[in-house]
Every structure is written in C-alpha cells, then in structure tokens.
Structure 1
Amino acid sequence: MPREHRLLITGANGFVGTWLQRELETRRLQGGIDLTVLTAGHGATSVLMADVSDKHQAMELIDTSRPSAIIHLAAIAAPSDARKAPDRAWDVNFRGTMNLAYAAMELAPDACFIFAGSSEAYGASFIDKAGAPVDEDTALKPMGVYGATKAAADMLLGQLAYEGLKTIRFRPFNHTGPGQTDAYVVPAFAKQIAEIEAGLRSPTLSVGNLSGFRDFLDVRDVVRAYADAALADSGADVLGKAFNLSLGQPTQIRQILDLLVELSGLQVNVEIDPLRLRGSEVPTASGQNHAAFTAFGWKPKIELRNTLNDVLTEWRQRVQSR
C-alpha cells in the first residue's frame, strides 16, 4: 500500500502556495499517491484558518491537521512590505516559524518541516563573493528586514534539527510567474507594458535600478522542489540541511525589461523613478544548485523567455478584465 501523505501548506493562498496546490493536484490526479492537502491561510479558500505568529493557534493548527509534512510558506513575503512593517515581519517570518516548528516537534514529531526561506538571507555575502554563485555553506549576512527574518528562521530550524526536528530548508532565489503581484520587478514591468498596450498609460516605463544581476526562476520550478521534498522518504542525508533553489546563471534586470518589451513589440521610453530605488543594492546575486540536484534530482526546466511571456499574457488578461 502506498504511504499516506497529509500535507499541510501554510500561506496556501499566496502566490507560491497557489502554484504548489496546482502541482500537488496534478500529481494526485496522475495516480499512485495517497495524498491529502490541507491548506492554511487567511483566505476563504483555506481549509484551516490560523495566524502562525500566535503560539496557541500554531499549536492548534498542527494538532488539528496531524500532517506527515508541513510546507511552511506563510510570510510577509515582499521585502518592501517587511521594510514598512518590521514588527509584523518578525512576528510572522521568525516567530511564526518558531511556533510551528515547536508545535511540530511536540504534536507531529514524524512530520517533515519544509521551510521556504530566501536567498535574501545571504545578503552581503553576495558582495563578498564578487558575483560568484554562493553555496549553502556561505555565511548568512542579510542586509534588509526581510532577509534578516528569513535568515533567523533558517538558523533556528538548523539548530532545532539537532534536537530532533525533521526539517529541510530551501533558499529559493528570485522566482516569478503568473499570479505574482506588481510589488515584484517582473510583474511591475509586465503590468505597465500591458497598460501601455491597452492605451491606459503613455509609452513610458517607470523603473528602478536596472543594473543588478539576479538569479531568476519560474515559480513552477520552485514548487516542484517543495513537492518533491514533501512526498519523499527523506533520510539523514537530506534532513537538517539547506538547499539553494537557483539557476546559477544571473540575468541583468535590464535584460528582463528588454525581453518583455521585445515580447510586446512596443516602442517605449524608460524613466528612472527614485521611489523604486532601494537604499542598499547587491550588484549580483546568484547561487549554486548542485546540492538540490544531488538530493532531489531537481533542476530548473522552464526557460526565462517562456516565464516572461506567461507573466505578460496574464497581465494583459488582468488589464483587459478591468
């Protein structure tokens, strides 16, 4: 008989959580998996409601669901939102992770705790490495509130692994795809282009710093890694360890913009908006992905151009639906 999988997803209604649910449903329909997905979040479509920053609610969530694996996505996910509300970012991103981890150790000790961390945790180490891809042994030196909360939660889970928590820590690099809000760079460009096409704005794109290089992934590749880890019978060679999810080949933000404009066929002007500039910028952020490939056979599959085309197509639909 196949092993029963009861997967609890926190932050299930968010951008990544929505795609993860689709990935898991596809696998369930393909057959051969006894799979139950329990969704936790603030939206009406979630099966379970909980504020993970509240210890009692986190305990109740684990006690009610009794999962075989927890995929912890709940977070203040946009760095700009974390900067504006640092108290809430620390409450959700760090304390929420701590509450869930301790609840899992007490009430579901056999459950695998899969953590969606962030490459932002590396921070100044990207500068130290002078653009070379970082590996999982690279020091965590966050430079912003969001990165700091994720780094702290990452380190906490690494410590709790020595106390028996069955955890896998992922550090995904920049990922995008259809459904992402315009608080992020790719959909911010795509939204403006779609509005120009629809005649809703002048042919001028308002942008921030275009000189940086980032390691871009498709969200659908990222959720494959989460699903693989949640459904695997992970052993000591994986549990307690951290894994980058990255392409290993950074792309300049300017090239992202150029590709989107090329896909649109528009002639546009580009204008720097000081409000879109951040105080501290990392010139190049890139990561090695050898560990994730060795452990899970994971590697990115979706070409960047295809990702950008899908994002632009979705924003065209959003704009037209107005």
Structure 2
Amino acid sequence: MKIRLLITGATGFTGCYLIRELLKKRNYDLAIVKRKNSDISGIKEILKKVRVYNIDPLYDQIYKIIKKEKPDLVIHLAATYPRNETKENIELMLNSNIIFGTKLLNAMALYNVKKFLNTGSSLEYFNGPPVYNPATFYSTTKRAFQDIVEFYIRSFDLKVVTLLPYNTYGPYDKRNNLFSLLKNGLKQKKKINLTPGEQFIDLLYIEDLINAYLRTIKYLLRKKSDDHEKYFVGSGKSVKLKEIVNLYRKISGVDIPIDFGAIPYRRREVMFAQADIKEVAKKLKWKPKVSLYKGITKTLKKDKII
C-alpha cells in the first residue's frame, strides 16, 4: 500500500524537485496544495500524476482537504518571502507563513494526522545558532510558526521534524537571487551591481537538499518520540560571495562585469553563514555530495549556458 503524502508549496523551487523525486520512488501517493494563481510551469507535465488542490491561505478549504486525504505525512514547504517589509508584504507573510500553517496544523489535529515535516530558515539565527536572533521579518514568521508547532506537539501528539535550509541553488531556479543576477548578466552582457561581496555564504545544491527531505520523510514515518527535532541543512562550508562570483565566471568562461559595492548591504545582512551539519549527519545519515564547483557546472549546463 502506498504512503499518502500531502505537500504544500509544491510549485516552489524545492517543491518542484521534491515532487519529481517522490514520483520516481513509486511507493508514494501524492496530493499537493497550491495557490490558484501559482506558476505551475516547473511541474506542469507531471500534474496528472498527483491530486491538485487550489487554495487561498486565508480560506478554510484545508480542513476539507485533510479530511478527504487523511495523509500519512504532511510536508510543509509553502512560504512567502518578499524582498522588503512593506505593509502589503507584512500581511502576506503573516497570512502565508503563520495563519495558513496554523489552520493546516489544526486540521491535522482534528482529523488525527500525526506526521509533519516542517521547513524553517537559517535566517532565524543572525549570528548563527543556537541563539535565536532573526535577520529578517520573514524569519520571525518562520520562528513564530514553530512556536505554534510546539503547542500542537504537546497538545495533540504530533510527530514533527523541522529542516532549516541554508541558501540553495541549482538549475531552473526562478527566484531572485545571486545566481539569477549572474545568469541574466551573462546572457544580456550587462554589468551587474552587487554589494561589496565580503559576506560568507553557505550554498547547498538543490539535489542535496532534496536528498535531505527524502531521508527525513523515511525517518519521520518511523518517528515515535514527541520531541520537536530541528536540523540545519547546508553544505557545512562557508564561501565569500566574491569567490562564488569568480568561480561562476571561471566555469562559464565569461568575464561578467561586476561592480562590487555599487549597492549597500541590506539591513541586518548576514556576514557569515555556515551550517553545522553534525546532527543531521548523525540522525538522518545525510551529508552533501555536490561540491560548489560541480554544482555550478551542472547548473550552467542544465540551464544551457555552457
């Protein structure tokens, strides 16, 4: 009998990759929850292989969905992460990152669904773990939701694992980030304006992150304890942004013009990030396999840049 999984945020960067890998396993029965206007281009050709539910994060359809699906495990990837904290964006983040997730948990409690794979953010730790110190408003919403998760663990015996990924990259990434800037600069042959580039970043190739999710799914399905397990997921290495840019230039074979320092650092810019992956390696038997050089090379080839 197949294991029933319900996935939120399935049309995002991580979600698209995860669904494809889960379908390859053939022992999972998948249902996804998405916004009605979500960009489905990343999974369009495989939508017939999963059950699709359209939902607004503020609505209560999630109760009917959980009642109908009765999943063995819920994988929560849905999140809103705008670049700034405007009045509209604050409301979007509260609705998507806290209210929707809370209704999801409440529906799980109501219909006796016990397994929950949550996604946090490394940005909850401005100076690195273990002390909570949010770098962005987005990360405060992710942490606030985890506090709500704690209530449901204690009150309804939920079994939960939260993964806290660091920066990810890979082919077909539509997010607005360093790699999209470099790709556009390369294609358009235009100068790219960046910060001074002295910040150190932990970059994880998307296939490694997906492997972490796959291992967590198996682990969580067996999980008996009611403690809230949290694992940082990253490469475990820290690389200066300038070095990343230069490596991208080297692999692409194009000396992309960069103006370092043309734009200032963001408020509360994280200047050093490096995942401590000892616990995830010990508990989930996971470790990253793709080096930064290999990951950038694979990305450029699959994006048909080289």
- TM class by smaller structure: 0.7 to 0.9
Could you list the structure 1 runs, at least 4 aligned residues long, displaced by more than 6 angstroms after superposition: none
Residue type of the alignment partner of 2:249 = V
- 2:194 aligned with 1:223, yes or no? no
* DSSP 3-state at the match of 1:248: coil
| Alignment of structure 1 residues 77-88 onto 2, 5 Å | 77=81, 79-80=82-83, 85-88=89-92
1:31 corresponds in structure 2 to none
- 2:78 aligned with 1:74, yes or no? yes
- Could you tell me how far apart the structure 2 residues matched to 1:276 and 1:156 are? 35
- 2:62 aligned with 1:58, yes or no? yes
Residue type of the alignment partner of 1:292 = V
Instruction: Give the deviation of 1:54 after TM superposition.
Output: 2.2
- Could you tell me how far apart the structure 2 residues matched to 1:52 and 1:81 are? 22
Cα distance change of structure 1 residues 271 and 40 upon mapping to structure 2, 3 Å threshold:
same
- 2:141 aligned with 1:122, yes or no? no
Spell out, residue by residue over 1:298-320, the C-alpha distance to the aligned partner (whole angstroms, 9 max, x if none).
11111111211222234446xx9
- Could you tell me how far apart the structure 2 residues matched to 1:308 and 1:75 are? 26
| Alignment of structure 1 residues 157-306 onto 2, 5 Å | 157-163=149-155, 164-193=157-186, 195=187, 200-202=188-190, 204-232=191-219, 233-236=221-224, 240-272=228-260, 274=262, 277-306=265-294
2:29 corresponds in structure 1 to 36
Spell out, residue by residue over 1:205-260, the C-alpha distance to the aligned partner (whole angstroms, 9 max, x if none).
32234111111101111122222222333324585211111222111111110110
1:130 corresponds in structure 2 to none
> What percent of counterpart residues are identical?
22
C-alpha contact 1:48 1:61 (8 A) present in aligned 2? no
- Could you tell me how far apart the structure 1 residues matched to 2:304 and 2:196 are? 24
Q: CA RMSD in A?
A: 2.3
1:17 corresponds in structure 2 to 15
Cα distance change of structure 1 residues 65 and 275 upon mapping to structure 2, 3 Å threshold:
farther
Residue type of the alignment partner of 1:266 = V
- Which consecutive residues of structure 2, in runs of 5 or more, have no partner in the other structure? none
* DSSP 3-state at the match of 1:39: strand
Instruction: Give the deviation of 1:143 after TM superposition.
Output: 2.4
C-alpha contact 2:153 2:226 (8 A) present in aligned 1? no
My pick for the range that moved more, 47-56 or 297-306, is: 47-56
- Could you tell me how far apart the structure 2 residues matched to 1:82 and 1:234 are? 40
- 2:102 aligned with 1:98, yes or no? yes
- Could you tell me how far apart the structure 2 residues matched to 1:37 and 1:243 are? 24
C-alpha contact 1:121 1:140 (8 A) present in aligned 2? yes
Instruction: Give the deviation of 1:67 after TM superposition.
Output: 0.7
Cα distance change of structure 1 residues 274 and 108 upon mapping to structure 2, 3 Å threshold:
farther
Instruction: Give the deviation of 1:105 after TM superposition.
Output: 1.3
TM-score normalised by length of structure 2: 0.87
Cα distance change of structure 1 residues 267 and 247 upon mapping to structure 2, 3 Å threshold:
closer
Cα distance change of structure 1 residues 234 and 287 upon mapping to structure 2, 3 Å threshold:
same
- 2:142 aligned with 1:142, yes or no? no
- Could you tell me how far apart the structure 2 residues matched to 1:314 and 1:297 are? 28
* DSSP 3-state at the match of 1:249: coil
